[in-house]
Chain A
Amino acid sequence: MQDFAAEISDAMLLILQGDAELWAIVLLSLRVSLLAVLVSAVIGMPLGAALAVGRFPGRRAVIVLLNALMGLPPVVVGLLVYLMLSRSGPLGVLELLYTPTAMIIAQVVLVSPIIAALTRQVVEMLAEEYSEQLRSLGVSRLASVPVLLWDARLALITALLAGFGRAIAEVGAVIIVGGNINHVTRVMTTTIALETSKGNLALALALGVILIGIAVAVNALVSALSLRAEQEGLTHA
Chain B
Amino acid sequence: MIGTWIRAGAVALGLAAGTAQAEESFIVVQSTTSTQNSGLLDYILPGFEAETGIDVRVVAVGTGQAIKNAMNGDGDVLLVHAKQAEEKFVAEGWGVERFDVMYNDFVLVGPRSDPAKVKGGTDIVAALTAISDTRAPFVSRGDNSGTHKAELRHWKEAGIDVADASGNWYRETGSGMGATLNVASGMDAYALTDRATWLAFGNKGKLNILVEGDPKLFNQYGVILVNPDKHPGVRVAAAQRFIDWLLSEEGQAAIASFKLDGEQLFFPNAQ
- Does A35 contact B16, Cβ atoms closer than 8 Å? yes
- Does B233 contact A200, Cβ atoms closer than 8 Å? no
- Does A199 contact B231, Cβ atoms closer than 8 Å? no
- Give the contacting residue for B33; candidates A88, A179, A197; CB below 8 A: A197
Min C-beta distance of B64 to chain A, whole Å: 15
Q: Does A101 contact B (CB under 8 A)?
A: yes
Q: Does A211 contact B (CB under 8 A)?
A: no
- Does B202 contact A104, Cβ atoms closer than 8 Å? no
Give the chain B neighbours of A98 by CB distance below 8 A: 28, 57, 59, 74
Give the chain A neighbours of B176 by CB distance below 8 A: 197
Q: Does A142 contact B (CB under 8 A)?
A: no
Q: How many A-B residue pairs have CB under 8 A?
A: 97
- Does B73 contact A88, Cβ atoms closer than 8 Å? yes
Q: Does A136 contact B (CB under 8 A)?
A: no
| Given A95-B233, A98-B28, A35:B57 Cβ within 8 A | no
Give the chain A neighbours of B182 by CB distance below 8 A: 196-197, 199, 201
Give the chain B neighbours of A181 by CB distance below 8 A: 28, 57-59
Give the chain A neighbours of B57 by CB distance below 8 A: 98, 179, 181-182, 184
Closest A residue by C-beta to B37: A198
Q: Tell me the interface secondary structure of chain A in the complex.
A: loop
How long is the Cα–Cα vector from A36 to B58 in the complex, in angstroms? 24
Give the chain A neighbours of B245 by CB distance below 8 A: none
Min C-beta distance of B136 to chain A, whole Å: 22
- Does B10 contact A196, Cβ atoms closer than 8 Å? no
- Does A87 contact B18, Cβ atoms closer than 8 Å? no
How long is the Cα–Cα vector from A98 to B30 in the complex, in angstroms? 11
Task: Pick the most buried of A39, A87, A105: most chain B CB atoms within 10 A of its CB.
Answer: A87
Give the chain A neighbours of B203 by CB distance below 8 A: 199-201
Min C-beta distance of B188 to chain A, whole Å: 15
- Does A94 contact B58, Cβ atoms closer than 8 Å? no
- Does B178 contact A198, Cβ atoms closer than 8 Å? yes
Listed by A's residue number, 12 A-B pairs whose Cβ atoms lie within 8 Å are A86-B69, A86-B74, A87-B231, A101-B14, A104-B17, A105-B13, A179-B28, A194-B37, A197-B33, A197-B177, A198-B202, A199-B181
- List chain B positions with a Cβ less than 8 A from chain A: 6-7, 10, 13-14, 16-19, 28, 33, 36-37, 42, 55, 57-60, 69, 71-74, 175-179, 181-182, 185, 200-204, 231, 233
